[in-house]
C-alpha cells in the first residue's frame, strides 16, 4: 500500500547521508538531479555501498539487478538490449513508464553503458519510496493494521512492535513488469 | 659490464601446471586445445542461496599431500602451488644445480582465507564486545599455524625451504596480475644478475565460502548461466561476470648461458616485461584501458620489439563486461590498424579465473602453444559484441605457427602486467 509515514524529504535526507558517507561529497553538491557517476564521481563499488546503507536504514532490500536485466530474463534475449548494445524502443518505453521523467533524456539507440550515468539522487530516492510503498496492509506478525514510526525512518507495528517487511527490489521489478505486460502487451 | 648484464637472455627450462582442466602441463594444454571447459557446480562447500554456484575445481586426487616443510600448512592454495612446482622443477632438473644461493623464488599467492570453522570458533568466544582470549588460550583451540597459513608470504618461504633455493625470495600480491608479475620480476632478477635461476609463478584457491562470498558481494561473478560450462564467455555479448577457479602455474626461469651449460631443455624465452597501475579506481578498470596500454607498451619496449612483431596475444579476458571491453580498446590503441589481424584468446573461457595463478598458467599455455604451433580458442563465442571486434580465436583452436606473443594480466584495483614471450631458437 502507498505509505505516508516516511516522507520523500526524509528519504532524500537519508540518501544524502549515505552518499556523503560513501563518496565524501559536499552536502550542497547533492541535488535531486545530480548524477551519482557524472556529478558526484561514484564508481561501481559505491552503488553497492550506498544501497547497503539504505537497506540498513530503512529495513528494505534494494534490487540487485537493474530492470533491463529483468526484461531480458522475462521477455527473452534482445528484448531490452539489441545486438549492438543499445536500448530497444520497448525498453525505453518501460523505463519511462517506470521512472517517469527521471529518465527523460532517454531515446532509442542509447548505449546500455550510458544508462548507469542516468541514475540520480532523485531516481534513487524514488526507488526507495517504491519499496516502502510495498508496506503490507496488516502486520505479518500479529495481523493488526497499526503502522507507525518513531524516527520517520523505520516503520513498526503499533500493536506488536515488529518491524514492517517490504517486497525485495528484484521481486518488485518483476511483479511490476508482469503487471505492465498483462495490461499493455508490450512484448 | 652493465651492458653485458642487461643483455642476459632469460629462458624457460621447466613448467608445471595444475588446473581444473588437468593435473599437469600436457593434460591442461590438450584439454584446452579441444575447447573443453573445466567449470562445473561447486562441491567444495555449500553454495545454497548464492547467486553463483559454479567454479573451476581441481580434482583433489591430483594434489600433493602435506609432507616435509609443508606439513603444518594443509592449505588448498599451497597444495596447488606445491603440485605445480613439483612438475616444474622436475622437468627443469633443478635438483642438479649446485649453487643453490643463485636460485631464487618469486610467487604470486594471496594466503588462505579464514575458514568458516575458524570464524565459528572465534564466535564462540565472543561476548558481544571482545574476544575472550584467556579462554581461547586456555582451551588451545585456535592453532597458531592458522595464522601462518593466512599469510601471503608463506608460499615463497615454503617453496624456498622445500626446494633448497637460497637466492632472492619475493612474494607478489597484485591480485589477478600476481602470477604474471612474479614471472616478470623474476625475469628481471636474472637479467640484472641477482640470480641465475628463478622458480616463479603463482596459485590461489578462493573456492571456499569466505573467499567466494566477497566476490559474490561485489557482483564480480557470473550469475546468469544456463549450464556451468557456458558461464565463462570472455568478449561475448552475453558475458556477465567471471567464474572463480583454483589452480597454479610455476615456471623455472634461467639465464640462457647457464641453461645451455648444463644442457637443460629450453621450452621458450621471456623477451620482455611491463607493469603499470591504472591509478584510477579500485573496482573499475580505466574506461580506455590506459594502464593496460602502458603495461603492453612497456613489455614491447623491454623486448625491443614493435607491435607488428607480435603474432598472438593471450588475453586477460575475464568475461566481465568491463575488462573485456577495455582490454579490446587497449589492444586497438597499441596495435592500431593491425589489431584485428592479431589472434587474441582467453584461456579463462575454459579454466575460469584462478586469481594469483592466472598469469602464470596463461604464460605457460602461451609457451606450449608456440612450441606446438597451436593457438588455444576462446570458447562460448555465440553472440558477437559489436564493441569487442577482434579475432578472439572463437570456439576452436587454430593450427598456426607463431614466434612471439604477449600474455596480459590486469589485476583488480588496476594492477597490470604484460609478459612478452618467444619461441626458443638457439
Instruction: State pLDDT tens for residues B109-138.
Output: 999 888 888 888 888 888 888 888 888 888
Q: Which three cell numbers stand for residue B399?
A: 593450427
The whole-angstrom separation of Cα A75 and Cα A88 is: 13
Q: What is the DSSP letter of B247?
A: E
> Is A77's Cβ below 8 Å from some Cβ in B?
yes
B90 burial class (0-12, 13-18, 19+ CB within 10 angstroms)?
middle
Q: Are B278 and B330 in contact (CB under 8 A)?
A: no
Which one has a higher pLDDT value, A118 or A52? Answer: A52
What angle, rounded to 10 degrees, do the helices at A8-23 and A121-132 form?
A: 130
Residue found under cell 534482445: A78
Q: Is B66 a catalytic residue?
A: no
Q: Looking at residue B352, what is its pLDDT?
A: 98
Q: How far is CA B299 from CA B8, B280, B358, B367, in A?
A: 16, 21, 18, 16
The minimum CA-CA distance between A82 and chain B, rounded to whole Å, is: 10
B394-422 tens-digit pLDDT: 999 999 999 999 999 999 889 999 999 99
Q: Which three cell numbers stand for residue B317?
A: 579476458
Chain A residues in contact with B237 by the CB 8 A cut-off are 83, 85
- Torsion angle in degrees (nearest 10) through CA of A14, A18, A19, A20: 100
Chain A residues in contact with B281 by the CB 8 A cut-off are 43, 45
Residue found under cell 580505466: B286
Q: Closest by alpha carbon to B203, among B323, B292, B83, B55?
A: B83
Chain A residues in contact with B383 by the CB 8 A cut-off are 77, 83
pLDDT reading at B214 higher than 80: yes
> Is B237's Cβ below 8 Å from some Cβ in A?
yes
Mean pLDDT for chain B?
94
Name the residue in chain B with its Cα closest to that of A47.
B218
> Is A107's Cβ below 8 Å from some Cβ in B?
no
Q: How far is CA B68 from CA A158, B65, B297, B321, B359, in A?
A: 66, 10, 43, 44, 28
B233-283 tens-digit pLDDT: 999 999 999 999 999 999 999 999 999 999 999 999 999 999 999 999 888
Q: Closest by alpha carbon to B292, among B336, B247, B324?
A: B324
> Is A28's Cβ below 8 Å from some Cβ in B?
no
Mean pLDDT of all residues in B225-229: 94
Q: Looking at residue B281, what is its pLDDT?
A: 85
The whole-angstrom separation of Cα A63 and Cα B265 is: 56
DSSP assignment of A42-55: --HHHHHHHHHHHH
What angle, rounded to 10 degrees, do the helices at A44-58 and A121-132 form?
A: 40
B328-349 tens-digit pLDDT: 999 999 999 999 999 999 999 9
B382-396 tens-digit pLDDT: 999 999 999 999 999
Residue length, chain B?
Answer: 426
Q: Is B256 a catalytic residue?
A: no
pLDDT category at B1 given cuts 50, 70, 90 is very low
Chain A residues in contact with B219 by the CB 8 A cut-off are 48, 64
Which of A45, A77, A84 shows the shortest C-beta gap to B386? A84
A8 burial class (0-12, 13-18, 19+ CB within 10 angstroms)?
middle
Please pick, among B286, B316, B402, B418, the residue that the annotation labels catalytic: B316
Which of A48, A69, A85 shows the shortest C-beta gap to B218? A48
Taking CB atoms and an 8 Å limit, are A85 and B384 in contact across chains? no
pLDDT reading at B3 higher than 50: no
Mean pLDDT of all residues in A66-77: 90
Quote the Cα angle for B185-B190-B193, to 5°: 120
B247 beta partners:
B204
Q: Closest by alpha carbon to B269, among B278, B257, B277?
A: B257
B157-202 tens-digit pLDDT: 999 999 999 999 999 999 999 999 999 999 999 999 999 999 999 9
Taking CB atoms and an 8 Å limit, are A45 and B238 in contact across chains? no
pLDDT reading at B356 higher than 80: yes
Which one has a higher pLDDT value, B425 or B189? Answer: B189
Chain B residues in contact with A76 by the CB 8 A cut-off are none
Taking CB atoms and an 8 Å limit, are B219 and A64 in contact across chains? yes
> Is A182's Cβ below 8 Å from some Cβ in B?
no
Q: What is the DSSP letter of A22?
A: H
Enclosing H/E stretch for B13: strand B10-18
Q: Looking at residue A104, what is its pLDDT?
A: 64
Q: Is B353 a catalytic residue?
A: yes
Q: What percent of chain B lies above the pLDDT cut of 70?
A: 99
Chain A residues in contact with B217 by the CB 8 A cut-off are 48
> Is B386's Cβ below 8 Å from some Cβ in A?
yes
A147-178 tens-digit pLDDT: 999 999 999 999 999 999 999 999 999 999 99
CA B118, B119, B122, B123 torsion: positive or negative?
Answer: negative
pLDDT reading at B2 higher than 60: no
SS3 B332: helix
Q: What is the CA radius of gyration of chain B?
A: 21
Q: Are B314 and B274 in contact (CB under 8 A)?
A: no
Q: Looking at residue A102, what is its pLDDT?
A: 64
Mean pLDDT of all residues in B359-374: 98
Q: What is the pTM of this model?
A: 0.89
The whole-angstrom separation of Cα B402 and Cα A41 is: 44
pLDDT reading at B24 higher than 70: yes
The minimum CA-CA distance between A136 and chain B, rounded to whole Å, is: 25
Mean pLDDT for chain A?
91
Residue A161's Cβ-side half-sphere holds a number of Cα atoms within 13 Å equal to 0
> Is A48's Cβ below 8 Å from some Cβ in B?
yes
Which one has a higher pLDDT value, B74 or B272? Answer: B272
Q: Which three cell numbers stand for residue B53?
A: 554456484
Taking CB atoms and an 8 Å limit, are A85 and B219 in contact across chains? no
Q: How far is CA B290 from CA B174, B251, B333, in A?
A: 18, 29, 9
Query: How many residue pairs bridge chain A and chain B with CB atoms within 8 Å of each other?
Result: 29
Q: Looking at residue B6, what is its pLDDT?
A: 57
> Is A73's Cβ below 8 Å from some Cβ in B?
yes
> Is B49's Cβ below 8 Å from some Cβ in A?
no
> Is B147's Cβ below 8 Å from some Cβ in A?
no
Please pick, among B176, B293, B418, B420, the residue that the annotation labels catalytic: B176
Q: Which three cell numbers stand for residue B391?
A: 579475432
Q: How many C-beta neighbours within 10 Å does residue B366 have?
A: 24
Q: Looking at residue A103, what is its pLDDT?
A: 66
> Is B60's Cβ below 8 Å from some Cβ in A?
no
Q: Which three cell numbers stand for residue B377?
A: 580458442
Q: Closest by alpha carbon to A133, among A151, A150, A155?
A: A155
Which of the given ranges, A106-110, B66-70, B102-106, has the highest pLDDT on average?
A: B102-106
Which of A44, A64, A77 shows the shortest C-beta gap to B283? A44
Quote the Cα angle for B21-B27-B31, to 5°: 55
Give the least confident one: B184-188, B202-206, B210-214: B210-214
Q: Looking at residue A114, what is its pLDDT?
A: 83
Amino acid at each position: 500500500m502507498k505509505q505516508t509515514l516516511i516522507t520523500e524529504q526524509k528519504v532524500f535526507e537519508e540518501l544524502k547521508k549515505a552518499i556523503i558517507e560513501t563518496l565524501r561529497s559536499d552536502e550542497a553538491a547533492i541535488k535531486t538531479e545530480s548524477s551519482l557517476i557524472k556529478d558526484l564521481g561514484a564508481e561501481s563499488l559505491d552503488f553497492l555501498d550506498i544501497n547497503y546503507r539504505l537497506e540498513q536504514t530503512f529495513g528494505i532490500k534494494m534490487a540487485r539487478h537493474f530492470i533491463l536485466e529483468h526484461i531480458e530474463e522475462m521477455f527473452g534475449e534482445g528484448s531490452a538490449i539489441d545486438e549492438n548494445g543499445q536500448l530497444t524502443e520497448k525498453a525505453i518505453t518501460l523505463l519511462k513508464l517506470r521512472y517517469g521523467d527521471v529518465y527523460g533524456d532517454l531515446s532509442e539507440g542509447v548505449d546500455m553503458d550510458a544508462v548507469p550515468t542516468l541514475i540520480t539522487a532523485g531516481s534513487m530516492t524514488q526507488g526507495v519510496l517504491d519499496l516502502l510503498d510495498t508496506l503490507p496492509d496488516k502486520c505479518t506478525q500479529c495481523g493488526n493494521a497499526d503502522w507507525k514510526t518513531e524516527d520517520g525512518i523505520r516503520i513498526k507495528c503499533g500493536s506488536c512492535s515488529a518491524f514492517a517487511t517490504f517486497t525485495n527490489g528484484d521481486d518488485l521489478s518483476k511483479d511490476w513488469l508482469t503487471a505492465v505486460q498483462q495490461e499493455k502487451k508490450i512484448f | 659490464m652493465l651492458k653485458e648484464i642487461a643483455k642476459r637472455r632469460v629462458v624457460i627450462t621447466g613448467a608445471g601446471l595444475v588446473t581444473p582442466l588437468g593435473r599437469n602441463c600436457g593434460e591442461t594444454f590438450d584439454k584446452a586445445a579441444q575447447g573443453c571447459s573445466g567449470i562445473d557446480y561447486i562441491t567444495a562447500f555449500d553454495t545454497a542461496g548464492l547467486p553463483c554456484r559454479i567454479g573451476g575445481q581441481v580434482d583433489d586426487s591430483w594434489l600433493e599431500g602435506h609432507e616435509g616443510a609443508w606439513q603444518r600448512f594443509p592449505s588448498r592454495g599451497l597444495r596447488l602451488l606445491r603440485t605445480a612446482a613439483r612438475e616444474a622443477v622436475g622437468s627443469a632438473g633443478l635438483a642438479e644445480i649446485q649453487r643453490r644461493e643463485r636460485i631464487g623464488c618469486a610467487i604470486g599467492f594471496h594466503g588462505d582465507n579464514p575458514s568458516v570453522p575458524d570464524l565459528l570458533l572465534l564466535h564462540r568466544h565472543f561476548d558481544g564486545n571482545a574476544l575472550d582470549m584467556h579462554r581461547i588460550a586456555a582451551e588451545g583451540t585456535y592453532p597458531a599455524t592458522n595464522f601462518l597459513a593466512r599469510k601471503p608470504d608463506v608460499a615463497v618461504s615454503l617453496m624456498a625451504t622445500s626446494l633448497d633455493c637460497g637466492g632472492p625470495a619475493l612474494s607478489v600480491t597484485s591480485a589477478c596480475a600476481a602470477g604474471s608479475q612474479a614471472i616478470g620480476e623474476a625475469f628481471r632478477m636474472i637479467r640484472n644478475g641477482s640470480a641465475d635461476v628463478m622458480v616463479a609463478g603463482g596459485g590461489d584457491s578462493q573456492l571456499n565460502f569466505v573467499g567466494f562470498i566477497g566476490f559474490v558481494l561485489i557482483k564480480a561473478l557470473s550469475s546468469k548461466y544456463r549450464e556451468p560450462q557456458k558461464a565463462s564467455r570472455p568478449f561475448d555479448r552475453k558475458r556477465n561476470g567471471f567464474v572463480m577457479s583454483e589452480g597454479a602455474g610455476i615456471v623455472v626461469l634461467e639465464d640462457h648461458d647457464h641453461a645451455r651449460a648444463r644442457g637443460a631443455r629450453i621450452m621458450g624465452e621471456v623477451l620482455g616485461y611491463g607493469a603499470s597501475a591504472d591509478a584510477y579506481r579500485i573496482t573499475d578498470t580505466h574506461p580506455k584501458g590506459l594502464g593496460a596500454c602502458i603495461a603492453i607498451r612497456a613489455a614491447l619496449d623491454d623486448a625491443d620489439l614493435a607491435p607488428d612483431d607480435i603474432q598472438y596475444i593471450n588475453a586477460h579476458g575475464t568475461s566481465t563486461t568491463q575488462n573485456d571491453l577495455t582490454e579490446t580498446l587497449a589492444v586497438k590503441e597499441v596495435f592500431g590498424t593491425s589489431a584485428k589481424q592479431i589472434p587474441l584468446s582467453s584461456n579463462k573461457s575454459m579454466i575460469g579465473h584462478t586469481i594469483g595463478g592466472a598469469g602464470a598458467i596463461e604464460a605457460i599455455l602461451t609457451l606450449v602453444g608456440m612450441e606446438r604451433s597451436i593457438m588455444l580458442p576462446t570458447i562460448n563465442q555465440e553472440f558477437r559484441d559489436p564493441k569487442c571486434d577482434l579475432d578472439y580465436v572463437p570456439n576452436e583452436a587454430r593450427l598456426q605457427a607463431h614466434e612471439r606473443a604477449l600474455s596480459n594480466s590486469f589485476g583488480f584495483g588496476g594492477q597490470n602486467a604484460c609478459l612478452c614471450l618467444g619461441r626458443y631458437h638457439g
